[in-house]
Structure 1
């Protein structure tokens, strides 16, 4: 995208930053008894940002303000969400923070928020609490207590496009963000979601984790392992090595890798970051696997002249050389074990785009 448009991708702001700004605007409106069109907050990265309020209302005892989340150029499920904060005076001192409509509630252990609480992650929680405290002190109300409720009217519907339900976050989205900004197509954000999914699975007793490269692979894996709970299935995307190491660190007993020819032909060579730009398909290596599998030399020549790994897979399937897929799956297992330095059972399942089994191998390291 960057090469095509020759423009830098635009950063956005996290739900946590939006919630903090809305909470500040609501409390300011409550104290001053005036509507607020903007609120400026300090992000965790040390940058001050001003948010425009979509709405601001106040009464004697409570006020509400809301801002629309701008996710920048990131394909974020919560882009365009209205993030609301209601601030209400309490009789007793102290700041209470909770989630309202459209903010999920945690029902499974393994997340950074305790079971039963609103899915407002630690950094946004801290941002909101500190900002509210600063505003109270600024206007001489440090002795007063307030309750802050964060809501996202469309949150429950938006959550259907996320993995929240699988992680045990029910009823809406999570209020997230460690830096305050959304970096478009951030690999760190995707890795963080993998870590979170592994934590939830292991904390809830899943010692057999199934890592897939995408939605189709995962769907096939779920059909193969209907007895496993939903949280055992984790989309690792291109981050094969990273995901394997995270599973090993959490002491998984067994790891199943599920994917297709393109990405797994790279894993078989020991390439553990399998994005299309990370490394080209090595047709010489696939030819070597074919020879080891008893494929005749004329077909090996066809492999060397192929354009894609999928084309090689189609050729081997058409000619009935199942041994090729078994050998490739074996290579994937061995390279996976090499990556984590053993101590875990690794299974590789190689499938077609249509969800047909090509090869399957398990090696206990």
Structure 2
């Protein structure tokens, strides 16, 4: 059993991750005021001292603790560490993502430093929470400073503020992090990270010309295993408590290529500037969502590698080595492997694709024919990670303690990075790449950087669980979509719906609609992108490429119905239609596609209201018919 300490945005995210498992867990908050819908999790509310926490863990067979509480809840963090040590439990700290500390902000370690910083009879807006009022009252008494307290507008917070001596005139309330409710000469912030709106508060204060003072986040107990996002949490739970998730996640080839590249540069640094420190066996990789995960790597003769992990997702690329060679002198790279001109420049580094990496031979992909088959997501991952301070001479990955690794300077002559995949061409023949127009090797892909496990029975089971949770949340509508990209676009149309109202169907549109009908969900919005939409319109309620392919004859039929005449020769991907169909005829085409989709979907939801939205690659939405 897992015990989560939440009450924060991170706590909510942790609960969402653990709900995916279908396994029971406990979710603890101090006040019970956080709104949260749980299906498999059991909520407990009220503060726990060390004795109560230890007793609860022993009575409920707690085997892992997830600390997702506020970063400034120091007493709770220490209590968790104390109990975990006594019971020999691991603790995963779900940390926030923090922007770099700006030099034009005054950083302090403790409230006691404020009297020496603030001049007498000045004014201060404190956004450090209701519990800090008693610590700030001496500024008023001893230095005549006018302090305003920005707190949450709820009865318990207001009562606590008044009890600590604040007046109603001194209180102002949270609405938006960018709002500055009162004019003051200085503002006091907590280093609350991205989810705490720290950057927005700083920006708003600067716009008002306020002096900014920030209280540094306290250090966490050394025993905590730190993650800073949902994927890192899931992978850590899979490692520490393997049975909790019935299926385990994996890594995309894009993440593997990035990890190998980071490791290759560290290896090159060690060759050029020996430190006698052992090379790391895992390196940090920043994923597209901003979180950082640790990825296992290894080293060969002049190169670093990362082995592809498919997790429990059936994948012929499982176990392949993605290699990276980093050289300041490109002439010493392995002969015969250099894949032509660089496809990416980052600072003084140029990256080329070599053996075993395919190339595009037809239009319709992120890049034109002739380019290496490395999609936009992995290229951006490479760019962001190579530009990270660890590899260019600044602040290293503090989160993961790699502070002892000296980076290579990014200036000077620079160098070349070569990516390669041994036996990639042979492996690619077992994939759909040849049919898609990718030749010579496998493709480097991945939108999120993480592969969620796929099995038909388990995936449909997880959809059912998510639909049950969605209904339990009390939402008036459930929005089903194919994945993160389409969900991001559709979410903008429904800003008031809770997170639980958005459910991924993957490829199982038909099964998802059947589940919605069984659960008597009254309103369903189906968000679908064109590749799946043309399959759905043809009657394929499971759009997986193993079961359904794009039917050009049926597309031609739909174009004829919409009175559109275009040449379909050479089309290999449905999204190419967005460019070929004249803009003034897109509405007619999309309505025709949606009409065919509705014909197959509506009978599966006989008592519900169905809205179908067709989404293009740029997020433009058609439909609502």
1:244-302 CA distance string (max 9 Å, x none): 11211111111111121111111111211112232110111111111111113xx2xx1
Question: Hey, what's the Cα distance between the residues in 1 that align with 2:467 and 2:233?
Answer: 13
1:208 CA drift (Å): 0.9
In structure 2, relative to structure 1, the CA distance for the partners of 1:332 and 1:100 (3 Å cut) is closer
Going from structure 1 to structure 2, the CA distance change for 1:115 and 1:107 (only over 3 Å counts) comes to: farther
Hey, what does 1:115 align to over in structure 2?
A: 43
For the residue of structure 2 that corresponds to 1:210, the secondary structure is: strand
Q: Does residue 152 of structure 1 match 2:91?
A: yes
Q: Aligned equivalents of 1:252 and 1:217: distance in 2?
A: 21
Which residues in structure 2 correspond to 1:43-192 (within 5 Å)? 108-116=36-44, 151-154=90-93, 158=227, 160-161=229-230, 176-177=244-245, 183-184=312-313, 185-187=453-455, 188-192=457-461
Shift in Å, 1:224: 1.2
Distance change >3 Å, CA 241–CA 228, structure 1 → 2: same
Distance 1:324 1:293 in 2: 6
From 575, 580, 596, the counterpart of 1:315: 580
Structure 2 Cα separation of the partners of residues 245 and 351 of structure 1:
23
Cα distance in structure 2, aligned partners of 1:158 and 1:240: 33
Shift of 1:161: 2.0
Checking the alignment, whether the CA contact within 8 Å between 1:99 and 1:149 is kept in structure 2 is: no
Other structure's SS at 2:572 match:
coil
**1:216 to partner: Cα distance:** 1.6
Taking structure 1 as the reference length, what is the TM-score of the superposition? 0.53
Structure 1 CA distance for aligned equivalents of residues 35 and 495 of structure 2: 22
Q: How does 1:203-282 map to 2 (within 5 A)?
A: 203-282=472-551
Q: Name the structure 2 match of 1:351.
A: 615
Quote how far apart the aligned CAs of 1:98 are: 8.0
In the aligned structure 1, how far is the partner of 2:581 from the partner of 2:545? 22
What is the alpha-carbon distance in structure 1 between the residues aligned to residue 504 and residue 575 of structure 2?
21
1:327 equivalent in alignment to 2:597: no
- CA distance, structure 2, for counterparts of residue 321 and residue 259 of structure 1: 16
Distance (whole Å) between structure 1 residues aligned to residue 25 and residue 529 of structure 2: 43
The CA RMSD measured in Å over matched residues stands at 4.1
The 1-side partners of 2:482 and 2:589 are apart by: 21
Deviations 1:18-73 (A, max 9, x none): x8xxxxxxxxxxxxxxxxxxxxxxxxxxxxxxxxxxxxxxxxxxxxxxxxxxxxxx
Q: Secondary structure at the match of 2:526?
A: strand
Q: Secondary structure at the match of 1:153?
A: strand
Whole-angstrom CA distance in 1 between matches of 2:89 and 2:601? 43
Q: Which residue of structure 1 lines up, in the alignment, with residue 103 of structure 2?
A: none
Cα distance in 1 for partners of 2:520, 2:87 equals: 39
Other-structure match for 2:419: none
| Residue 114 of structure 1, CA deviation | 2.9
Q: Provide TM-score, normalisation by structure 2.
A: 0.32
3-state SS of 2:92 partner: coil
Which residue of 284, 309, 325 corresponds with 2:553? 284
Q: Secondary structure at the match of 1:346?
A: strand
Alpha-carbon distance change, 342 to 150 in structure 1, aligned in 2, over 3 angstroms: farther
Aligned-partner SS, 1:266:
helix
Deviations 1:313-358 (A, max 9, x none): 32125463320111101211221113x152211111111111112x
Rg larger in structure: 2
CA 1:174–1:217 in structure 2 vs 1: closer, same or farther (change >3 Å)? Answer: farther
Change in CA separation of 1:214 and 1:197 when aligned onto 2, cut-off 3 Å: same
Cα distance change on mapping 1:343 and 1:175 into 2, 3 Å: same
Q: Structure 1 unaligned segments of length 5 or more: list them.
A: 1-15, 20-76, 79-96, 118-124, 132-146, 166-172
1:361 is aligned to 2:624: yes
Structure 2 distance, partners of 1:361, 1:152, is 46
**Contact 2:478–2:525 (Cα < 8 Å) also in 1:** yes
Alignment CA distance shift 1:217-1:238 (3 Å): same
Aligned residues: 230
Distance 1:256 1:216 in 2: 16
Query: 1:213 offset after TM fit, Å?
Result: 0.9
CA distance in 2, matches of 1:287, 1:155: 51
Distance (Å, rounded) in 2 between the aligned partners of 1:164 and 1:208: 29
Unaligned 5+ runs, structure 2: 3-16, 19-23, 46-56, 64-85, 96-225, 235-240, 250-310, 314-452
